[in-house]
């Protein structure tokens, strides 16, 4: 398996957003990839997030198999709620869905010294609901990931300048060259 949870995949700045961003190109049916569709990758996420996520936690434990559907439900409710918030379409209904799935995620059990991924994701999402009214929550125009812009003047356009920013610049350059050549 060549897939790896690289630092780029933790560009969201909050665990709940990194979990939501385990779906790449969410609204592009032809190219959409769900990294959590593979349980091995889903389990590996917990360990990688413990090291690479912008939020710090106690050690994260992978979601146990029978609670995986719950983590996916929480991921989807998180994405719907915060994406709508960025687009100025927040609703009490979406918030209620998020709160219900978060509550279910908090009812699991963890080993001492560990916090279950779904519980940590719920805590992260709940924190975000009180933090994101200031225009810092954004959607990457290239990959559609959600991220928090913590730059001083809120000037961050991309989830990751080195990946999405450069990709868009390169395709613009390529288009210009093509136009110049034709
Ligand atoms: Zn991006």
Would you give per-residue pLDDT tens digits along the chain (182 residues)? 578 999 999 999 999 999 999 999 999 999 999 999 999 999 999 999 999 998 887 789 999 999 999 999 999 999 999 999 999 999 999 999 999 999 999 998 878 889 999 999 999 999 999 887 788 999 999 999 999 998 888 899 999 999 998 877 777 776 777 777 65
Residue 24, SS3 per DSSP: strand
- Compute the distance between CA of residue 67 and CA of residue 64 in angstroms, rounded to an integer: 6
Instruction: Specify whether the backbone of 116 is left (phi greater than 0), alpha (psi in -120 to 50) or beta.
Output: beta
Find residue 116's DSSP bridge partners.
Answer: 61
Gap from CA of 27 to ligand 1 centroid (Å): 13
Q: What's the pTM?
A: 0.91
Nearest to 146 by CA among 13, 47, 7: 13
The angle that helices 39-52 and 117-129 make with each other, rounded to 10 degrees, is: 60
Gap from CA of 158 to ligand 1 centroid (Å): 5
Residue 3 DSSP one-character state: -
How many residues are there in the chain? Answer: 182
Gap from CA of 41 to ligand 1 centroid (Å): 20
CATH number of 7-181: 1.10.3300
Gap from CA of 157 to ligand 1 centroid (Å): 9
Gap from CA of 43 to ligand 1 centroid (Å): 23
């Amino acid at each position: 398996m060549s897939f790896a949870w690289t630092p780029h995949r933790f560009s969201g700045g909050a665990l709940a957003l990194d979990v939501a961003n385990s779906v790449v190109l969410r609204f592009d049916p032809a190219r959409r990839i769900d990294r959590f569709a593979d349980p091995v990758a889903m389990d590996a996420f917990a360990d990688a997030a413990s090291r690479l996520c912008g939020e710090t936690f106690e050690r994260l434990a992978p979601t146990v198999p029978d609670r995986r559907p719950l983590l996916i439900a929480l991921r989807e409710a998180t994405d719907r709620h915060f994406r709508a918030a960025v687009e100025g379409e927040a609703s009490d209904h979406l918030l209620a869905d998020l709160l219900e799935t978060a509550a279910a995620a908090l009812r699991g059990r963890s080993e001492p010294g560990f916090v279950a991924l779904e519980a940590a994701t719920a805590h992260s999402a709940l924190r975000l609901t009180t933090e994101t009214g200031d225009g810092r929550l954004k959607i990457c125009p290239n990959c559609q990931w959600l991220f928090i812009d913590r730059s001083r003047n809120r000037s961050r356009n991309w989830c990751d300048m080195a990946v999405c920013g450069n990709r868009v610049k390169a395709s613009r350059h390529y288009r210009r060259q093509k136009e110049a050549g034709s």
